[in-house]
Chains A and B, each alone.
Chain A
Amino acid sequence: MSSSTANQSLLAGIGGWGWAQLLLNATTVLAMGVVIWASLLYAKPATNLAGAEQFAQRIFYIHLGCAFAALGAFLMSLIGSIAYLITRNLDWDRATQASVEGGIIFGAGITISGAIWARPTWNTYWTWDPRLTTALITVLIYVAYLLFRNGIDNREQRARFGSIYALVAFLTIPLTYESARIFRSIHPIIWDGSNSEAEGGFEGIGATMGQTLTVALIGFCLLFSALMIMRWQQLRLEDQVEGLRERLY
């Protein structure tokens, strides 16, 4: 195959959208529709709350959905960084970057939705509570990952640095998860334990609440997967175009 034919077939092949991805995107859109409907209409309101607090409690579904998606994203970035350091395959580095970007989006979603929920519940948008502080630090550490790696020109060096950074940055995830258990916190704990000083919790998750939560967790994980795959493909395309440009000029 001649060089120009190879280049043309590369251009024709890159950036294609498969049926599997189309199906994933369609499922995600549908799932998000169901999440909105279930969160706003289907789930029964918390019986121990009233007024603005009772309405605001519905933020719980998207707040936890974002938390689950962010956890999945940062876990994927950990897997990607370890896999890159073992295999040196740049696809893993791209997966790490795409996952970190998704994690930042959903991490920001947790922070913003949490702050809005805090206003009617804690009477303030923000407090330097251990859980809130560690969550914010986690997002900022991953924002720094993108800033630092973009400053490195050499592709291999960038991937190596990014993988080691993402590996170390993941330590903030268990710290954030445990922060409301280890330190004095007013942030409620949903799973695996309780927090006697928590404020704004609600009693017993009923059947409709549990179903809505399940749908939200699945929906947000699908949303992360769809965004991550889309961005991963784009990063791959960017690298291929960069390689092609170097060959042509």
Chain B
Amino acid sequence: MGFMAAAFVSVWLLVALYMVFIGLRQRRLTQEIRTLEELMHDRE
């Protein structure tokens, strides 16, 4: 039972970590887009 649980948790943990990685990058990109938007606004 322990081995089965460990394997299931490990696989979905890997997927979850990858999703967190994507999420963090997305957040950084959103912030960068906001900065660029402000810069464009200032130039107009």
Contacts and interface: CB of A to CB of B under 8 A. Distances in A.
Interface of A: 4, 7-8, 11, 14-15, 36, 39-40, 52, 55-56, 58-59, 62-63, 66, 101, 105, 108-109, 112-113, 116-117, 119-120, 223, 227, 230-231, 234, 237-238, 241, 244-245, 248
Interface of B: 1-4, 6-8, 10-11, 14-15, 18-19, 22, 25-26, 29-30, 32-33, 36-37, 39-40, 43-44
What does DSSP make chain B's interface, helix, strand, loop or mixed? helix
A227 B19 contact: yes
A116 B29 contact: no
A62 B11 contact: yes
What does DSSP make chain A's interface, helix, strand, loop or mixed? helix
B18 A36 contact: no
A116 B7 CA distance: 6
Contact of B10 (A56, A113, A244): A113
A203 to B, nearest CB: 19
Contacts of B6: 116
Contacts of A245: 32, 36
Given A4-B43, A56-B3, A241-B32, A66 B18 contact: no
